[in-house]
């Protein structure tokens, strides 16, 4: 398992372990993470995931020295530990504010996956307070849209539109398109995404356009965009071209491919759904539940 997968798994674990009565991100979440990971390590001192979770929680608590010690200890735990530790140590040596902000947007996405919108919003707000990096802004904006904070996302889009470069302009259209899609204004969403594609033919634009086509019932057009997403799946590993792992965005391609193929009455729909489920761990989120329901109806 690569560093991106390890980090994502630990963040999801931390989200589900957080007390349900706490609807905001605070130090107690990280304190719980530290305590739980130390308990795991007392039972299995060679468990790589626990070291990663411990180091990330220590960073969340503002304890870089302790995190450094944890990464150094992990480096001695075989090849997998050394690989994960190398990434962690590189994070500490890099621009801490931008790196920390990107981790917070990833955490925000994990909160959304767990159905904890207030925590997702708090994490995205915190990320924006740390960094004005374009990838941070876009990631936070997408979280805001899904969490029902459209105004915050559109404010980010307006700031991106102030840039002269095509990529920020493209991302502004992505956010505006996703806001339209959330409101079920699918024709307007599709128009926004097409405009964005003219500025920069990014993987994210293709994926969003496919999603909008599926929701609009334009299954042939959706199939074309999804096929492009699959052929260009390497781009999904770092959507923002900044070496930060984003492969978690890729599995839903097969969910929407299943929807598209189902709309076209193709027998391939079931295979696409099963491929999507193959990426899931545990029960998965709302998309996994929908897939199981659709497969049961066949």
What is the 3-class SS of 148-213, one letter each residue? CCHHHHHHHHHHHCCCCCHHHHHHHHHHHHHHHHHCCCHHHHHHHHHHHHHHCCCHHHHHHHHHHH
The whole-number pLDDT of residue 5 equals 39
Considering only residues 78 and 145, tell me which one the structure prediction assigns the higher pLDDT. Answer: 145
pLDDT over 90 for what percent of the chain? Answer: 54
What's the Cα-to-Cα distance from 2 to each of 17, 36, 87, 199, rounded to whole Å? 23, 22, 10, 32
pLDDT digits (tens, 9 = 90+) for 98-111: 777 888 898 889 88
Considering only residues 35 and 283, tell me which one the structure prediction assigns the higher pLDDT. Answer: 35
* Contact of 30 with 61, CB cutoff 8 Å: yes
Domains 1-93 and 184-290 share a fold: yes
The lowest-confidence range among 9-13, 39-43, 49-53 is 9-13
pLDDT digits (tens, 9 = 90+) for 60-90: 777 777 888 888 898 898 888 888 888 777 7
Considering only residues 202 and 53, tell me which one the structure prediction assigns the higher pLDDT. Answer: 202
Phi/psi region, residue 94 (left: phi>0; alpha: psi -120 to 50; beta: rest), is beta
1-93: in CATH 1.25.40: yes
Grouping H, G, I as helix, E, B as strand and the rest as coil, residue 133 is coil
* Contact of 166 with 155, CB cutoff 8 Å: no
Half-sphere exposure of 195 (CA within 13 A, CB side): 17
pLDDT mean across residues, the chain: 86
The domain 184-290 is classified under which CATH number: 3.30.70, 1.10.3470, 1.10.10, 1.25.40?
A: 1.25.40
The lowest-confidence range among 30-34, 198-202, 203-207, 290-294 is 30-34
pTM for the predicted model, two decimal places: 0.70
Q: Which tokens in the block code for residue 34?
A: 């530290």
CB under 8 Å to 20, separation ≥6 — which residues?
Answer: none
Please state the domain extents for the chain: 1-93, 184-290
* Contact of 263 with 271, CB cutoff 8 Å: no
Categorize the per-residue pLDDT at 217 as very low, low, confident or very high, splitting at 50, 70 and 90: very high
């Amino acid at each position: 398992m690569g560093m991106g997968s390890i980090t994502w798994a630990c963040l999801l674990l931390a989200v589900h372990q957080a007390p349900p009565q706490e609807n905001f991100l605070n130090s107690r979440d990280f304190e719980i993470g530290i305590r739980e990971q130390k308990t795991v390590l007392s039972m299995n001192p060679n468990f790589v995931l626990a070291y990663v979770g411990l180091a990330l929680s220590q960073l969340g608590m503002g304890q870089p020295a302790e995190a450094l010690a944890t990464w150094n200890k992990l480096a001695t735990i075989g090849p997998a530990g050394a690989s994960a530790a190398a990434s962690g140590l590189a994070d500490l040596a890099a621009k801490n504010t931008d790196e920390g902000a990107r981790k917070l947007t990833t955490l925000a996405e994990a909160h959304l996956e767990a159905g904890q919108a207030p925590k997702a919003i708090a994490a995205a707000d915190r990320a924006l307070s740390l960094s004005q990096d374009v990838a941070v802004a876009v990631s936070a904006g997408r979280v805001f849209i899904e969490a029902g904070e459209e105004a915050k996302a559109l404010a980010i889009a307006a700031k991106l539109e102030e840039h002269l470069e095509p990529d920020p302009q493209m991302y502004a259209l992505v956010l505006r398109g996703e806001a339209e899609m959330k409101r079920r204004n699918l024709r307007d969403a599709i128009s926004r995404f097409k405009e964005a594609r003219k500025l920069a033919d990014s993987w994210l634009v293709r994926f969003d356009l496919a999603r909008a086509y599926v929701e609009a019932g334009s299954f042939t057009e959706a199939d074309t965009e999804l096929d492009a997403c699959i052929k260009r799946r390497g781009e999904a590993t770092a959507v923002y071209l900044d070496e930060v792992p984003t492969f978690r965005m890729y599995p839903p391609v097969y969910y929407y491919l299943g929807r598209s193929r189902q709309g076209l009455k193709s027998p391939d729909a079931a295979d696409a759904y099963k491929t999507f489920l193959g990426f899931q761990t545990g029960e998965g989120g709302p998309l996994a539940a929908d897939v199981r329901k659709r497969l049961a109806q066949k």
